[in-house]
Amino acid sequence: MACVFKGATNPDAKTNNNAEVPPEFLIKHPLQNTWSLWFYDNDRNKTWEQNLIELTSFDTVEDFWRLYHHIKLPSELRQGHDYAVFKHGIRPMWEDDANKMGGRWLINLEKKQRNSDLDRFWLDVVLLLIGENFEYSEEICGAVVNVRPKLDKIGVWTADTSKQQANLEIGRKLKEQLGIHGKIGFQLHRDTMGAYASQSRATETSAELSQRLAENGENKSQGQTFSFVGIGLRKECFSHGQLYVALSRVGSPEKQYVL
């Protein structure tokens, strides 16, 4: 497995430091949920599920920052690698029972944004999640950052796409907190799986399909339709024709939501 810890040091490793620590430094601030950090290794000699590794879990503010300062930033990962932060017990895969009826808000970042925006956006997203800063935090499953040759991606995964108000509010909050002025897309997991499965071999398993997607790393959004589309127009962000394209991604007007 590729090492993701800075200086090859695991923050969970025990130390023999017997120095006395002031009592106030031993106080920890619990999070509402326990969260797990996952890493996708992209070793071509392993299956997709074998590449998906749960590194550790944390349930306090202090433990999160301790972990964060000991691991590589997303921009320091090799292309093809992922981080995921999910509520403990939920695996960052479509097939997990907590995810199968859900979808994801997807932020695409061009390669030139890797050094300027990727790490900042990822940290802000994780802090929003573990700090329960969404109005519908119970609908949040986790987040994934994909480092890819052409487009890096950050996805915030939600549990149930039938709860449209909750999903739209999560997307609105995400845009507002990250300061994104353009549009962000929403994808249903079942639609994404179906689009790729229709192109795959009949004997290909879901894990093999997931590995092929990870290796490909492309965002096949052009021409894709969605069950509903939310568009923020509070700030001018569309050039000629873009608004039409955004609205055309959904089949009926009642599935279009404008903020």
Is residue 240 pLDDT above 90, yes or no?
no
Amino acid 177: pLDDT: 96
CA separation for the pair 108, 118 (Å, rounded): 10
Tell me which of 31-35, 58-62, 209-213 is least confident.
209-213
Give strand ranges (E) for the chain: 30-40, 52-60, 82-87, 103-110, 140-146, 151-158, 185-188, 229-231, 256-258
- Specify the higher pLDDT residue, 221 or 164: 164
Hey, where are the domains in the chain? Answer: 30-219
Task: Give the residue-averaged pLDDT of 175-186.
Answer: 92
Determine the topology of domain 30-219 in CATH: RNA Cap, Translation Initiation Factor Eif4e (3.30.760)
Mean pLDDT of 253-259: 58
| 3-state secondary structure (DSSP) of residue 153 | strand
Q: How confident is the model at residue 68 (pLDDT cuts 50, 70, 90)?
A: very high
CA dist 250 → 103, 159, 230 (Å): 15, 21, 10
Which tokens sit at 184? 């962000």
- What is this structure's pTM? 0.72
Residues 168-194, mean pLDDT to the nearest whole number: 91
How far, in Å, are 106, 237, 250 from residue 183 at the CA level?
10, 8, 15
pLDDT, tens only, 115-158: 999 999 999 999 999 999 999 999 999 999 999 999 999 999 99
pLDDT higher than 50, residue 209: no
Predicted local confidence at residue 191, as pLDDT:
83
Per-residue pLDDT band at 56 (split at 50, 70, 90): very high
Q: How much is the pLDDT for 198?
A: 54
- 207 close to 48: Cβ distance less than 8 angstroms: yes
- Look at residue 45 and tell me whether its pLDDT is greater than 80: yes
User: What value does the mean pLDDT of the chain take?
Assistant: 81
Mean local confidence (pLDDT), 90-106: 95
On the question of pLDDT at 248 being above 70, the answer is no
